[in-house]
Amino acid sequence: MQRRFRRLPLNPMLDIHQNHFELFDLPASFAIDLDQLDRHYRKLQSEVHPDKFAAASPAERLRSMQLATHVNEAYQTLKSPITRARYLLHLHGVDTLEETNTAMPAAFLMQQMEWREAIEEASDACDIDVLEQLLRELRHEGAALEQNLHATLDQQQDFAQAAETVRKLRFLDKVRIEIEQAIEALE
């Protein structure tokens, strides 16, 4: 006896080969509407969630799983400014070279050293207030770099400068983690 599967339609417009911006019906730019991203994500997840296809054919279940994975990965990529910028650069054929290009302007490197020294001093002094102030300063610097990404990616299309800014944000992220770990150790 041949099993009959209840057919649930998968949106034929969804394709695991769509770029992330197309998937969420967003312009391919750094400045995106995060509320729209969230709305489209919830809508797509409700359409492709594997639980909805539990009684479907194996092929439909597989397609549902692939699409759900694609939707999740695309959402996580676009939600974060640094991964969104990295992805935009990738779409333009630009590699940020984060693993191999660690050259930074001298002033930026000096700031990194100052922050790390301040982290160490505040940790040694068990001064959580100073660490929290450093964290606020770092967030402020990160916000300025994100504004720079908006200008270099969306307005100037200066991909080399944008790649350097992504590398700077990655450095800042590492320092942020150090600060958070230092605060955690003192609490």
CATH of the domain at 168: 1.20.1280.20
Length of the chain: 187
Which range has the worst mean pLDDT, 44-48, 118-122, 149-153?
44-48
Q: Is residue 34 part of a domain?
A: yes
Task: Identify the pLDDT of residue 103.
Answer: 84
Residue finishing a domain among 79, 95, 123: 79
Q: Determine the Cα–Cα distance for residues 184 and 146; give it in Å rounded to an integer.
A: 26
Q: Is residue 44 part of a domain?
A: yes
For residue 168, the enclosing domain spans 106-186
Q: Please state the rounded mean pLDDT for residues 136-144.
A: 96
Q: Is residue 113 part of a domain?
A: yes
> Are 129 and 173 within one domain?
yes
> Are 171 and 110 within one domain?
yes
Q: Determine the Cα–Cα distance for residues 100 and 89; give it in Å rounded to an integer.
A: 16
> Are 68 and 136 within one domain?
no
Q: Is residue 119 part of a domain?
A: yes
Phi and psi at residue 53, in whole multiples of 5°?
-115, 20
Q: Determine the Cα–Cα distance for residues 125 and 138; give it in Å rounded to an integer.
A: 20
What does the block give as tokens for 6?
């209840």
Q: Is residue 129 part of a domain?
A: yes
Q: Determine the Cα–Cα distance for residues 117 and 30; give it in Å rounded to an integer.
A: 33
Q: Is residue 94 part of a domain?
A: no
Task: Identify the pLDDT of residue 10.
Answer: 53
Q: Looking at the 3D structure of the chain, how many domains does it have?
A: 2
Q: Please state the rounded mean pLDDT for residues 1-21.
A: 58
Task: Identify the pLDDT of residue 54.
Answer: 84
pLDDT band at residue 149 under the 50/70/90 scheme: very high
> Are 46 and 118 within one domain?
no
> Are 138 and 75 within one domain?
no
Q: Is residue 5 part of a domain?
A: no
Q: Please state the rounded mean pLDDT for residues 87-107.
A: 91
Task: Identify the pLDDT of residue 120.
Answer: 96
Q: Is residue 1 part of a domain?
A: no
pLDDT band at residue 4 under the 50/70/90 scheme: very low
pLDDT at 160 > cutoff 70: yes
What is the pTM for the complete model shown? 0.84
Return the CATH number at 53.
1.10.287.110
Three-state SS for the chain is: CCCCCCCCCCCCCCCCCCCHHHHCCCCCCCCCCHHHHHHHHHHHHHHHCHHHHCCCCHHHHHHHHHHHHHHHHHHHHHHCHHHHHHHHHHHCCCCCCCCCCCCCCHHHHHHHHHHHHHHHHHHHCCCHHHHHHHHHHHHHHHHHHHHHHHHHHHHCCCHHHHHHHHHHHHHHHHHHHHHHHHHHHHC
pLDDT band at residue 58 under the 50/70/90 scheme: confident
Mean pLDDT value across the chain: 90
CB 167 within 8 A of CB 96: yes
pLDDT at 5 > cutoff 50: no
Which range has the worst mean pLDDT, 62-66, 68-72, 150-154?
62-66
Q: Please state the rounded mean pLDDT for residues 87-102.
A: 92
Quote the percentage of the chain above a pLDDT of 70: 91
pLDDT band at residue 100 under the 50/70/90 scheme: confident
